[in-house]
Amino acid sequence: MSRIGKKAVVIPEGVSVEHNGAELSVKGPKGLLAMQVMGDVNLEVKDSEVAITPRNNSKVSRSMWGMQRTMVSNLIEGVTKGFEKKLLIHGVGYRAQMKGKSLNLQLGYSHDINFVIPEGVAIECPDQTTIIIKGIDKQKVGQAAAKIREFRKPEPYKGKGIKYDGEYIFRKEGKKK
């Protein structure tokens, strides 16, 4: 039994949920999101909540149960509050700035990196060492943050690179004489 799947997703005020066959669409104050519902689960929209149940007792059906519930929850949270990831840049001469519709990164390479901002995602740089990624789709926000972090992952000796806010970097001791 899925502990997550058992809980129904509450639909807040100002959000409308429509279920047409295998597609679920959620409309809220921040926008519209849709997803394909797996055939292994049943989805019911009643009153002010969405209930998800497994179609049968197979392993695939039970494993999709909790995941589908979480995805529906993320859709509802996205159209009401939105999602945000914060990246921090550490290192001498490492900086980020917005240039038009792209993010310009200087990360110690012989060239600058221009990251084209994907559709459905907004990026802000309040200062040269902070990048804030916002959007209503959790997957797109996380994917954009992961791609930016991939340009220069934090290294374990001095901690130089791009890291998530709140991420712990395991430090190693350097060479000894």
**CB under 8 A, 24+ apart: contacts of 90-94:** 90/129, 90/154, 90/159, 90/160, 90/161, 90/163, 91/152, 91/158, 91/160, 91/161, 92/160, 94/129, 94/152, 94/160, 94/161
User: In this structure, are residues 26 and 75 in contact, taking their beta carbons and an 8 Å threshold?
Assistant: yes
Looking at domain 83-164, does it have CATH number 3.30.1490.190? Answer: no
At residue 63, the pLDDT reads 87
At residue 1, the pLDDT reads 64
Query: In the chain, which ranges are E strands?
Result: 9-10, 16-20, 23-28, 31-36, 41-46, 49-54, 83-90, 95-99, 102-106, 113-116, 121-127, 130-135, 161-164
CA–CA separation, 5 vs 52, rounded Å? Answer: 7
The Cα-based distances of 69 to 78, 133, 155 in angstroms read 14, 25, 36
Asked, colleague to colleague, whether 3-80 and 83-164 share their fold, the answer is yes
CA–CA separation, 3 vs 66, rounded Å? Answer: 8
pLDDT averaged over consecutive 10-residue blocks of the chain (177 residues)? Answer: 83 91 91 90 89 89 90 94 96 94 95 95 96 96 96 94 95 89
Looking at domain 3-80, does it have CATH number 3.40.50.2000? Answer: no
Ranges of each domain in the chain: 3-80, 83-164
User: In this structure, are residues 77 and 136 in contact, taking their beta carbons and an 8 Å threshold?
Assistant: no
At residue 165, the pLDDT reads 95
At residue 119, the pLDDT reads 93
